[in-house]
Amino acid sequence: MYYSQLRAFHAVATQGGFSKAAEFLNLTQPTLSDQVRKLERDFDVLLFNRTSRSVSLTDAGRHLLAITNRMFECEAEALEYLKESQDLLVGSLTLAADAPFHVLRIVRAFRNTYPGVTVNLKIGNSEDILNQLYDFDADVGVFSHVPDDARLKVLSLRDDPLVAVISQDHHWAGRRAVKFRELAGEPLVLRERGSTTRRLIEQEFARLELQMGTVMEVEGRESIREAVATGNGVGFVSKPEFGHDNRLAMLELEDSKLPMHEYMVCLENRAETRVVSAFWEMAVAERD
């Protein structure tokens, strides 16, 4: 690499001579002269016309100066960008979550504090989010099933119970709760495999030795709502995610407490990056 030699050439060309360039770069004049001569010698090119009183650029030197002008402008731009990134004046954060409900309050607070940082939000199930973290496709994940892995830094955000969701014309409409055993044989609407909601429901059926009814598999919570609203079966969401929908009714699972633990997760080796640590601090503040 010839960075030092190109920097020496650029300084001589822009400062108007070797002595001023040496002072500008805080080098001795012999060292500076050696660096310029190395460029000329290695590439068999004359860059400066030298006299006892002055130096001037040759045609080759003028052409090279046009290039080094762009080169050092790019360097200055890169350093300015890095400084702005350090101060979070610019940058981006990719956030993967199993439901927007759990993160939008944190995102709002973060964006108000760091308006120059772009936040990209991806929605997926727990398995998808974990893979995105491992593959560096997401900086931070918010989801409910976290493996015991020393590579991960984990923050507990909240705990919410699972509830059943039915349509307003379901034969259970008007009830406030249902026993889990009553779900045996009922048509069900479940998330795709890899989702924590589905895992908890299947585990509870197995624990109680109950037979599951027919299952309609859909991707995402909005699909659950639409499938249930059109009479395709009983679905499940965490209680705060139920929201407001006149087509739907919520039923407590009165004899089965199925908590949905929500966590914020990042890779340990990325936890100290400026944007991740700032978002983490914001999540702690919003949680508390």
Same-domain status, 282 and 250: no
Same-domain status, 255 and 266: no
Q: Please count the CA atoms within 13 angstroms of the CA of 210 that sit on its side-chain side.
A: 18
Same-domain status, 104 and 240: no
Residue with tokens 């055993």: 181
- Kindly report the CATH number assigned to the domain that includes residue 151: 3.40.190.10
Same-domain status, 20 and 71: yes
pLDDT digits 0-9 by tens, 94-133: 999 988 877 899 999 999 999 999 999 999 888 899 999 9
Query: What pLDDT is recorded for position 266?
Result: 97
Please give the distance of CA 257 from its chain centroid, rounded to a whole number: 32
Query: What pLDDT is recorded for position 257?
Result: 80
Q: What are phi and psi of 282, to 5 degrees?
A: -65, -40
- Name the residue range of residue 8's domain: 3-86
Same-domain status, 250 and 168: yes
Mean pLDDT computed over 169-193: 94
Question: What angle (nearest 5°) sits at the alpha carbon of residue 249, between those of residues 263 and 253?
Answer: 55
Query: What pLDDT is recorded for position 288?
Result: 67
Contact 162, 191 (CB under 8 A): no
* Average pLDDT of every residue of the chain: 92
Same-domain status, 172 and 255: yes
Strand partners, 266: 153
Same-domain status, 237 and 282: no
**Percent of the chain whose pLDDT exceeds 90:** 76
Same-domain status, 63 and 198: no
Amino acid in the structure at residue 46: L
Give the integer Cα–Cα distance in Å for 225 and 240.
14
Residue with tokens 């060292």: 31
Last residue of a domain, one of 52, 86, 120: 86
**Cβ density class 92-125: b for 16+ within 10 Å, e for less:** ebbbbbbbebbbeebbeebeeebeebebeeebbb
pLDDT digits 0-9 by tens, 26-50: 999 999 999 999 999 999 999 999 9
Same-domain status, 151 and 31: no
Cβ-in-10-Å burial (0-12, 13-18, 19+) of 57 comes to middle
Same-domain status, 130 and 271: yes
pLDDT digits 0-9 by tens, 213-249: 899 999 888 899 999 999 999 999 988 888 888 999 9
Give the integer Cα–Cα distance in Å for 233 and 213.
10
Task: Give the total number of structural domains in the chain.
Answer: 3
Same-domain status, 282 and 144: yes
pTM of this prediction?
Answer: 0.69
Same-domain status, 98 and 147: yes
